[in-house]
Amino acid sequence: MLIDKHYQFIRFLINDGLENKRQTFPETVLEQYGAIIRTLWQNNPNLLKHQQGYTALHIAAKENNLNIISFLLNSLKGVDLDILQQFVMSKERRNGCTALHLAALNGHDATVTQLLASFKDDPKALQKFISAKDNNGRTTLHGAALKNNPTVVASLLESFRDDPKALKEFIKTQDEDGHTALHGAAKWKRCHSNAITSTF
């Protein structure tokens, strides 16, 4: 299937980018793929998803490939803001993770920052993005706390700096087992639990 080849090409870009930092691809090729991504996402987003719901953005976030993330986000510049947000907030099917979940779970500070920046002009959408739950009811804060990543925890909490009420609700979010991010941090004696409790 044609879209599988495009998916494989993006996967190749990501993997090769990790293995061979010096190799680059002509800008014209990337621009053409950018136009394809933009057109497909505007008309039929499912064509840009793997059968498990993964997009290239999920893979790039998991692998911490900032160049590919930048390329994908730039490909959607100029489209309706809702379309861009739908792309960034897209969930894969197996675990219900967004790209931000994967970045937080893998401790990729720079990727988290880059993804959050795509919502810089829409604070409410940013909060919705950060508060999105996976299939187990976990937010990105759960993942960052469990993975002992104080930098990501701080970045997520900072996004709520102008909305104390929403911040407290976010921190108190429970997963399906009734655990908050603070439970995870305390359970594993994570050093950044103070960053969470200091908001109360």
For the chain, give every domain's residue range.
1-119, 136-200
pLDDT category at 2 given cuts 50, 70, 90 is very low
Residue in the structure block whose two tokens are 């925890």 = 153
The dihedrals phi and psi of 68, each to the nearest 5 degrees, come to: -70, -40
The number of angstroms, rounded, from the C-alpha of 96 to the middle of its chain's C-alpha atoms is 12
**1-119 and 136-200 share one fold:** yes
3-state SS record for 97-110: CCHHHHHHHCCCHH
- As a CATH number, domain 1-119 is 1.25.40.20
Residue 49 has pLDDT above 70, yes or no: no
Considering only CA atoms, which of 100, 43, 47, 93 is closest in space to residue 73? 100
Taking 90 as the threshold, does the pLDDT of residue 167 lie above it? yes
State the architecture of 136-200 in CATH terms: Alpha Horseshoe (1.25)
Which tens digits make up the pLDDT trace of 153-165? 999 999 998 899 9
